[in-house]
Amino acid sequence: MSKSIFISILLSIVLCSCANKDNEHADFSVLPVLEITSIVKTNDNHFDISLTDNKSGKYVTLIDNNTVSDMNLKKGDKIKISGDYAESYPVQILRVTKVKKVE
């Protein structure tokens, strides 16, 4: 009995993790395209980035130095950011999980 419960729980975990991976791509595709309006290096090896969308919405986030350097991000670049969007003004993007440059 307990073995079948364990197998059921394990199967549920595997199915949920696969579903989350599929949703991650779907969610990323609907994120707004944001233009970098300002990028300033902080003392803790991150960049404080201000952004705007095509409807003049304002956003702010912190992105680590490695991501900024690897992607060669600069003012005027258009990007999409996957993370937690907090309801505030400007909108804060917390726990950034993925950044994609938009050509």
pLDDT in tens, 72-102: 999 999 999 999 999 999 999 998 989 999 9
Q: Is 11 helix (H, G, I), strand (E, B) or coil?
A: helix
Q: What are 47-65's pLDDT values in tens digits?
A: 999 999 999 999 999 999 9
Distance, CA of 21 to CA of 6 (rounded, Å): 23
- Identify whether residues 6 and 22 lie together within a single domain: yes
Q: For residues 24 and 67, what is the distance between their CA atoms, to the nearest angstrom?
A: 19
Q: Which residues pair with 60 in a beta bridge?
A: 50, 92
Q: For residue 16, what are the contacts with CB-CB under 8 A and spacing of at least 6?
A: none
38 lies in the same domain as 88 = yes
Strands 91-102 and 58-64: parallel
pTM of the model: 0.72
Number of domains in the chain: 2
pLDDT band at residue 27 using 50, 70 and 90 as cut-offs: low
Q: Are residues 13 and 44 in the same domain?
A: no
Q: Residue 47 belongs to what domain range?
A: 34-102
Indicate whether 24 and 38 sit together in one domain: no
Q: For residues 33 and 56, give the distance between their C-alpha atoms in angstroms, rounded to a whole number.
A: 12
**DSSP β-bridge partners for residue 36:** 51
Mark whether 23 and 40 lie in a shared domain: no
- 52 and 23 in a common domain: no
Minimal CA–CA distance to 35: which of 22, 19, 52, 13?
A: 52
